[in-house]
Amino acid sequence: MTYETPKTYETIEVTPLTPLLGGEISGIDLTKPLSNRQVDDLHRAFADRSVIFFRDQHLDFEHHKTLARYFGGIHIAPSTAPWQAPGHPEITIIHADKDSKYVAGEDWHSDMSCDPEPPLGSILYLHTVPEPGGDTVFSSMYAAYDALSERMKAHLEGLTAVHDAVVGFGGITPEGMKLPRSSHPVIRTHPVTGKKAIYVNRGFTTHIEGIPRAESNALLSYLYDHVQRPEFQCRFHWRPHSIAFWDNRSLQHSAIWDYFPETRSGYRVQISGDRPF
């Protein structure tokens, strides 16, 4: 597969956050229906930057779902989840304030990698944000993979790892809720760009299969440190009515909770994905 970085966009402007990842999109109103050319440009920017950002977009639930549907079906969380928006099972409420005992996503992770078919992307819209604080940090798993030695790449090729929701959500889910557990390649290939990316994360991965547990622990610990190197990262500073739309296949992210007791609040939609390969 050949993938080329887009040189220009017809309908939008894309301002890169770093040379490797992140792009702030301007020149588009996501509350209006989008043309095919606009959708095509967004697809190309998303593939190229792995995470795209929008400012000053006052989304309601329908706008939010419509944006997701330009990229695929909507991934719906189990119906017992207490954080669904009432009457809108596609919408997850993301909220932290003075009463919060934890926030979702503080550890580096790829969303729901414990699912057999994890969501390909997540669209987070925040209407209320602390100032300052509450940034989200993203790390490129393409860059992390590319920086490995050829020997390490060869060693990891073909290995699989178990991802278990108990690691991420074990303490916070309602009693009796079934928590998914899946096996995925340690190195996955992105279905759109054809690039390889590291696909183990501290938030969900328990162990690499088929090797002694001590060896798995040592390898994972090395990889978890490696994927956090600052040169692989970009950091997004939220303002009210901003959107971050990230690719779970090529990124990990971490939500920084440095703003207690302030409020950070909004909604998230996830887009269905395929089985990693």
Q: Which residues are at the interface with Fe ion (CB under 5 A)?
A: 105, 111
By beta-carbon proximity to Fe ion, the closer residue of 41 and 111 is: 111
Residue 109 has what DSSP assignment?
Answer: B
Taking the complex as a whole, the smallest distance from the CB of residue 44 to Fe ion amounts, in Å, to: 24
C-alpha dihedral sign at 210, 215, 219, 224 = positive
By beta-carbon proximity to Fe ion, the closer residue of 90 and 111 is: 111
How far apart CA 263 and CA 32 sit, in angstroms, is: 29
Taking the complex as a whole, the smallest distance from the CB of residue 111 to Fe ion amounts, in Å, to: 5
B/e letters for 171-181, b = 16+ CB within 10 Å, e = fewer, are: eebeeeeeebb
How many DSSP H helices and E strands does the chain contain? 6, 17
Residue 134 tokens read as 């509450």
By beta-carbon proximity to Fe ion, the closer residue of 74 and 156 is: 74
Taking the complex as a whole, the smallest distance from the CB of residue 31 to Fe ion amounts, in Å, to: 25
By beta-carbon proximity to Fe ion, the closer residue of 81 and 159 is: 81
Taking the complex as a whole, the smallest distance from the CB of residue 110 to Fe ion amounts, in Å, to: 8
Active-site residue among 75, 109, 163, 190? 109
The question of whether 241 is a catalytic residue gets the answer no
Active-site residue among 41, 48, 111, 115? 111
The question of whether 127 is a catalytic residue gets the answer no
CB 247 within 8 A of CB 119: no
Strand 242-247 to 160-164 pairing: unpaired
Active-site residue among 184, 190, 249, 253? 253
The question of whether 29 is a catalytic residue gets the answer no
The question of whether 264 is a catalytic residue gets the answer no
Taking the complex as a whole, the smallest distance from the CB of residue 254 to Fe ion amounts, in Å, to: 8
Tell me the residue number closest to Fe ion, measured at CB: 105
By beta-carbon proximity to Fe ion, the closer residue of 193 and 254 is: 254
Closest of 182, 110, 189, 108 to residue 145, by C-alpha: 189
Using DSSP's 3-state secondary structure scheme, residue 256 falls into coil
In this structure, the chain runs to a length of 277
Task: Please identify every residue annotated as catalytic.
Answer: 109, 111, 253, 268
